[in-house]
Amino acid sequence: MRGIGGAVDSQGAALPEWVSEFLRDSDRQDVLCKLQRSGATDRQAFVFVSFGGAPWSVESYLTGQLDQLPAEAPDLSPPVTGVWVVSQFGQRGLRWDGAARRLFEARGRGIDD
């Protein structure tokens, strides 16, 4: 039987490559086109990962404690200059702004309202 599960990636090692591939997929061409047409210098994408929407290694990281930042940054597809990634079940998310990786609170007091 196929199912979701496997080793937990508490270091986020799989996330950068997955984000890079996800944004380059032909299904995301509309996102890339909209960002390009915006003319903005800061073009960030928001990736909301639903249950079963990413490999288990990525989901396990995003729904875990999220207290470790991945060692690598994603290779962002032009025109993307930054990306925010959060799971529908995670308490925190991760963002890259082109220069640094940071965690952000996705749920909590004042956020859920």
pTM of the model: 0.87
Query: What is residue 107's predicted lDDT score, i.e. its pLDDT?
Result: 80
pLDDT of residue 113: 52
- Whole-number Å distance between alpha carbons of 64 and 31: 28
Contact 15, 72 (CB under 8 A): no
pLDDT in the model for residue 5: 66
How many CB atoms lie under 10 A from the CB of residue 68? 14
Tokens 């990786």 appear where? 101
pLDDT the model gives residue 8? 80
- Please give the pLDDT value at position 45: 96
pLDDT by 10-residue block (mean), the chain, 113 residues: 67 95 95 95 95 92 91 93 93 92 84 60
**Domains in the chain: boundaries:** 15-105
| Residue 65, pLDDT score | 87
Q: Closest Cα to residue 101, out of 83, 75, 77, 79?
A: 83
